[in-house]
Amino acid sequence: MKFLPDQIVARLQTGMQTPDLSGTRYRALELLGHGGMGTVWLAQDSILQRPVALKVLAAENSSADLAARLMQEAVVLARLEHPGIVPVHDAGTLADGRTFYCMKLVEGQTLDHYARKLPLRERLRLFQRIAEPLAFAHSRGIIHRDLKPANVMVGPFGEVLVMDWGLAKVMAATSASSATGQVSEHVTDATGLSSTGTQVSGHEFTRAVQGPFGSGALAPENSTAHGTVLGTPGYMAPEQERGEVNLIDQRTDIFAMGSILQSLLQEPPGSPEGESYSRPLRAICAKAMSAEMSARYASVQELAADVGRYLDGLPVSAYRENIFERTARLVSRNRVAVVLVLAYLFMRLLFILFSRR
Partner 1 sequence: MSNKIVLGLVLGGVLGILDGLTAWFTPAVRAGIVGIVFGSTFKGLIAGVLIGVFARKVHSLALGILFGLAVGAFLAWIIAFMQHGYYFQIMLPGAMVGLIVGYATQKYGASSQLQRA
CB of 329 to partner 1, least distance (A): 16
Kindly report the number of other CB atoms within 10 A of residue 141's CB atom: 20
Output the furthest CA–CA distance in the chain (Å, rounded): 104
Q: Which is nearer to partner 1, 29 or 337 (CB)?
A: 337
Cα angle 137-124-114, degrees, rounded to a multiple of 5: 85
Q: Which is nearer to partner 1, 218 or 314 (CB)?
A: 314
CB of 336 to partner 1, least distance (A): 7
Tell me the torsion sign for CA atoms 132, 138, 140, 143. positive
Contact present, 199 and 189 (Cβ < 8 Å) = yes
CB of 335 to partner 1, least distance (A): 11
Q: Which is nearer to partner 1, 48 or 350 (CB)?
A: 350
Q: By C-alpha distance, which of 313, 312, 262 is closest to 123?
A: 262
CB of 352 to partner 1, least distance (A): 4
Q: Which is nearer to partner 1, 95 or 337 (CB)?
A: 337
What is the C-alpha to C-alpha distance for residues 14 and 19, in angstroms, rounded to an integer?
A: 10
CB of 118 to partner 1, least distance (A): 27
Q: How many residues are present in the chain?
A: 357
* Residue ranges with strand state E in the chain: 26-34, 38-45, 50-57, 88-93, 99-104, 109-110, 142-143, 152-154, 160-162, 169-171, 187-189
Residues forming contacts to partner 1 in the complex (CB under 8 A) are 336-337, 340-341, 343-344, 347-348, 351-352, 355-356
CB of 344 to partner 1, least distance (A): 5
Q: Which is nearer to partner 1, 116 or 348 (CB)?
A: 348
What is the C-alpha to C-alpha distance for residues 283 and 317, in angstroms, rounded to an integer?
A: 9
Q: Which is nearer to partner 1, 47 or 352 (CB)?
A: 352
